[in-house]
A and B are shown apart, each in its own frame.
Chain A
Amino acid sequence: DTGVSQNPRHKITKRGQNVTFRCDPISEHNRLYWYRQTLGQGPEFLTYFQNEAQLEKSRLLSDRFSAERPKGSFSTLEIQRTEQGDSAMYLCASSRTEAYGYTFGSGTRLTVV
């Protein structure tokens, strides 16, 4: 097993453009999570899936953010009309249950200029 894979590792985009990130979780894990992390802060919850169902989405997340997990395998996170405040590390994680910790990917570093 190669762990959780995220692509791309880095993305630089102009303000107003749309971006999409991909996460491939560990195949045996049915739970998949997206978090966002800015410098000096811990990861902030965005959304999570159990299999293909999106079970929770943070109230802090604007309508410009959308996530999918078709067929319960890989997931994509799309940000529309990016803003400079969206600049952050976007982390994907997977797990079998929520109680025993996550396996994180290496993250996608987004810079909005």
Chain B
Amino acid sequence: TQLLEQSPQFLSIQEGENLTVYCNSSSVFSSLQWYRQEPGEGPVLLVTVVTGGEVKKLKRLTFQFGDARKDSSLHITAAQPGDTGLYLCAGANTNAGKSTFGDGTTLTVKP
């Protein structure tokens, strides 16, 4: 069974601060996705990374896929209250049929 561990589990910061959350596994994945989920809603896809060492930027969010394709990080610059939510990572393998999700990091950004 492929497991994804996310850390920290909870993070509470002030508006304007920077933060990094992590997604780690002992397994190799073909691709890894990051999602953001708000209470009572389904997760929304933020990004997919597929190449070891890949870095993708989405406005204030920077995503990195580890060289060995076992881990990933999400860095947010100058966090805003609208960034509040549950950040989930999910790993997929070609022809595996399904993605495996971590338990997420709950981020609270206080104004």
Contact = CB atoms under 8 A, between A and B. Distances in A.
Interface of A: 4, 6, 33, 35, 40-45, 48, 55-56, 91, 93, 98-107, 109
Contact of B103 (A6, A41, A45): A41
A106 B42 CA distance: 4
Contact of A45 (B4, B43, B88, B100): B100
Contacts of B48: 99-101
B97 A98 contact: yes
A56 B99 CA distance: 12
A106 B41 CA distance: 5
Contacts of B4: 42
Nearest to B50: A99
A102 B96 contact: no
Consensus secondary structure, chain B interface: loop
Size class of the contact patch on chain B: 20 to 34
B33 to A, nearest CB: 4
B7 interface: no
A35 B97 CA distance: 13
A91 to B, nearest CB: 5
B6 to A, nearest CB: 8
Contact of A55 (B50, B93, B97, B100): B97
Q: Interface centre among A40, A93, A98, by most B CB within 10 Å?
A: A98
A6 B90 CA distance: 22
B104 A42 contact: yes
B22 interface: no
B88 A56 contact: no
B28 to A, nearest CB: 14
Nearest to A104: B42
B11 interface: no
Contacts of A109: 40
A1 B96 CA distance: 27
Contact of A99 (B35, B88, B94, B100): B94
Nearest to A99: B31
B31 A43 contact: no
